[in-house]
Homo-oligomer: A and B are copies of this chain.
């Protein structure tokens, strides 16, 4: 059974997808309500579809360009196989499929939730959470299915389906990285484009509709209202789906890469019941089991009472969530014990190889689960209604928008304190337990509940939409009340979901970063080297500028929207009286066009910078290892700064949002109850306007920025890395190897003799050599200046006469290795001792 374990994740993914299909048909069978509701829902559905189609057309061009570039690279760099292009394209298609599928079900579920809310709250929750479940299982199922299938395919294609050596597996995983790159590229555009779309529509609808015309939110007379509701779907649903799809794939991939290095550290091969690839299969197995666990978790989410309030709904979601997390912990224990060798060797910096028991790997997965939960709690504290940070912002609103905004900014900034300490602790602890494999598995364990997280996340915008439809179709107030309860819970889950997303992105990036270092074969990333430090600065700046571009994009698009809505109010007769029909599609078109246009610059910056850092110095003839280290510094800068800015922006945005919401129930300021419409509330609304692009556009984009940066680094790694020269050497081992004796005669060595030399061994007396040759190479490395000295002693017995020659080579390691390729006609292979 163990040997079939490689197929198990696929089976579990298919089970998840089947469950999804059943759930989907159940949701679609629900009553979609009457004429007006259906009409509005159709508008939203069509608007969302129009955006996605336009987006996919644009992305198709992007995919073609990148595919051609990858194909060129695969011809130039021998270790990069053309199949990476296929993997890339499928990664892109799968990601698009996941986003598309999620959005379709979300736009079908919203109206059915409104209809269900006409009967009862438990029904409304069942329908909206059902839609979320379809989305969550679909995304997770596709991710595991795609990644595992490609892994099996490449494993058979490159290795014949059996373990050969770690180098072949590296090629398998490098090719597989194309799948992840494809997924993450699409995610970038989906997140940024969706984020711009939703906020442009939201701000535009609010500024003219609510503020100027004085009509309520989601009023059907507002021309931008459909665009606003479409935005919820393309931003919060499709964007989030593509984001987590990318994280899921990248995390598992990084863990697999590091699993391969565990095998390398253990001598290049292990014997286990899983064909010798247990450490590589484990992350996929955890992901697969996570799908089944999420299925169970979603089934636990239900409420009974029709009079339930936010707390009960939140409680129901929490039960599902916590049960999933506990089940993942248990299954991690079982899987780790079952699939990993009892003890492993892992190399630690400065400490050499250490024996690591499988239990320590399990502890690392626990670290991931604890940190995931911890970050969510921190997020909830800083953005939750009724919590002290929010109350302070509310107080500061009494002296105007200025103090409200200072307080919100400060809250977001302070929230980095516990979050970063949690991260730093997680990095330290999971590494201490099980090296970078531990870091990657911590991320994998955290991501195992992705399906559940997404279900909880997606149910929020669905409920928000349901409320919008209730308003637009003029339902009884009780319907809106019920959807408002769900929406309010959805706002909290949106904030914690963002915490989860950034935590997973950060750990994933670290794992990718570790995989990058091992792929390139550099010793590490030494920021005391000036060019590396310079790139750390540049990397740190990228998330800041990226955020600014995203915010400006929202500003520009919102301005266009404002002008269009003003025009319609002015030019369409009877629009305010409800007799004239607003041109919803024009607003949808503006948001669509603007978001697609504005997402290009940040996208190009994200992809372009690492390429410039890698290839421009290469053109100027810089040493590849030095470039690899610089790129590593850049990646670290993007990751550290990106995590900080993600936490800052998400939490500041969430805090402003809920500070504004606090006024709905009334707040006590200087001993006076203050409500909506007060000056303090207006100040809070201004704060929320600032927070909108923070929390829905630039903040969440940080996740993808850091993941994509690290992935691009990983894909470039083989070009920079030194392991390709190893492979080159291996490929060229069929060349003639010979040495020249004192008389100038060449003698071709036999296969066995070549092997001897290649392993760095001395050719012993008695070997079938007409001349006995002893080669001894000592490599001495000076830590102070990185210079290497190689002493080569060649002892030959020529016609019975022993001669000894000693040669010394000094220089950088690369230079010395180059010179050692051929010493006096004897090819010398240096095998690094592990």
A interface residue numbers (CB < 8 A to B): 207, 347-353, 396, 399-403, 405-407, 409-411, 413-414, 416-417, 420-421, 423-425, 427-428, 431-432, 436, 439, 510, 513-514, 517, 523-531, 533-538, 540-541, 544-545, 547-549, 551-552, 554-555, 558-559, 562, 623, 625-626, 632-633, 636-637, 640-641, 643-644, 648, 685-690, 693, 778-787, 789, 811-813, 832-834
Contact = CB atoms under 8 A, between A and B. Distances in A.
Contacts of A540: 420, 540, 640-641, 644
Contacts of A420: 537-538, 540-541
B402 A690 contact: yes
Nearest to A637: B640
Given A544-B648, A548-B413, A406 B514 contact: no
A296 B540 CA distance: 40
A667 B730 CA distance: 71
A534 B401 contact: no
A555 B403 contact: yes
A434 B529 CA distance: 13
A207 B780 CA distance: 70
A536 B531 CA distance: 17
- Candidate in A533, A540, A551, A813 with the most chain B CB atoms within 10 angstroms: A533
11 contacts: A349-B526, A352-B786, A352-B812, A406-B690, A406-B693, A407-B555, A417-B545, A421-B541, A544-B644, A544-B648, A778-B778
Contacts of A513: 528
Contacts of A778: 778, 780
B350 A541 contact: no
A810 B538 CA distance: 40
A832 B399 CA distance: 65
A537 B787 contact: no
A41 to B, nearest CB: 31
A833 B808 CA distance: 15
B641 A537 contact: no
A218 to B, nearest CB: 20
Given A421-B538, A528-B517, A811 B352 contact: yes
Nearest to A781: B781
Contacts of A541: 416-417, 420-421, 644
B548 A528 contact: no
Q: Count the copies.
A: 2
Chain A interface SS verdict (over half): helix
Contacts of A402: 401, 685-690
A417 B782 CA distance: 38
Contacts of A349: 526, 528-529, 785-786
A662 B187 CA distance: 41
Given A562-B399, A648-B544, A555 B406 contact: yes
B693 A428 contact: no
A409 B427 CA distance: 31
A510 B544 CA distance: 21
A812 B348 CA distance: 11
Contacts of A812: 350-352
B530 A350 contact: no
Contacts of A353: 785, 787
Contact of A783 (B407, B523, B548, B644): B523
A407 B552 CA distance: 7
Contact of A428 (B401, B531, B549): B531
Contacts of A530: 427-428, 431-432, 436, 439
A411, A528, A551 — most chain B CB neighbours (10 Å)? A528
A352 B816 CA distance: 13
A96 to B, nearest CB: 30
A522 to B, nearest CB: 8
A428 B403 CA distance: 41
Contacts of A688: 402
Given A396-B555, A834-B782, A537 B427 contact: yes
Contacts of A400: 207, 686, 689
Contact of A535 (B424, B552, B625, B785): B424
Contacts of A410: 548, 551-552, 555
Contacts of A352: 782, 785-787, 811-812
Given A406-B690, A784-B834, A526 B524 contact: yes
A528 B423 CA distance: 15
Contacts of A785: 347-353, 834
A626 B636 CA distance: 19
Contacts of A528: 349, 513-514, 517, 523-525, 632
Given A420-B537, A789-B833, 18 more contacts: A349-B785, A350-B623, A350-B625, A399-B559, A402-B686, A402-B687, A403-B555, A410-B552, A414-B548, A420-B540, A425-B534, A513-B528, A523-B526, A523-B783, A537-B640, A537-B643, A541-B644, A637-B640
A109 to B, nearest CB: 32
Contacts of A207: 399-400
**Of A353, A413, A517, which is in contact with the most chain B CB atoms at under 10 Å from its CB?**
A413
A686 B401 CA distance: 7
A640 B637 CA distance: 8
Nearest to A535: B424
A783 B814 CA distance: 13
A783 B352 CA distance: 10
Contacts of A351: 785-786, 812
Contact of A350 (B533, B643, B786): B786
Contact of A636 (B350, B431, B536, B786): B536
Query: A-B pairs with the 8 shortest C-beta distances?
Result: A402-B689, A431-B530, A413-B548, A524-B526, A352-B787, A524-B528, A420-B541, A424-B534
B544 A413 contact: yes
A562 B400 CA distance: 13
A637 B637 CA distance: 9
Given A401-B401, A778-B778, A780-B779, A529 B424 contact: no
Contacts of A548: 409-411, 413-414
A812 B352 CA distance: 7
Contacts of A633: 527
A347 B782 CA distance: 11
A656 to B, nearest CB: 10
Contacts of A428: 530-531, 534
Nearest to A348: B785
B782 A833 contact: yes
Contacts of A348: 785
Contacts of A641: 540, 640-641, 644
Most buried by B among A349, A633, A689: A349
B782 A832 contact: yes
A782 B778 CA distance: 12
Contacts of A547: 413
B524 A527 contact: yes
A416 B833 CA distance: 45
Give the interface centre of A401, A632, A688 by most chain B CB atoms within 10 Å: A401
A423 B643 CA distance: 22
A305 to B, nearest CB: 39
A205 to B, nearest CB: 14
A636 B527 contact: yes
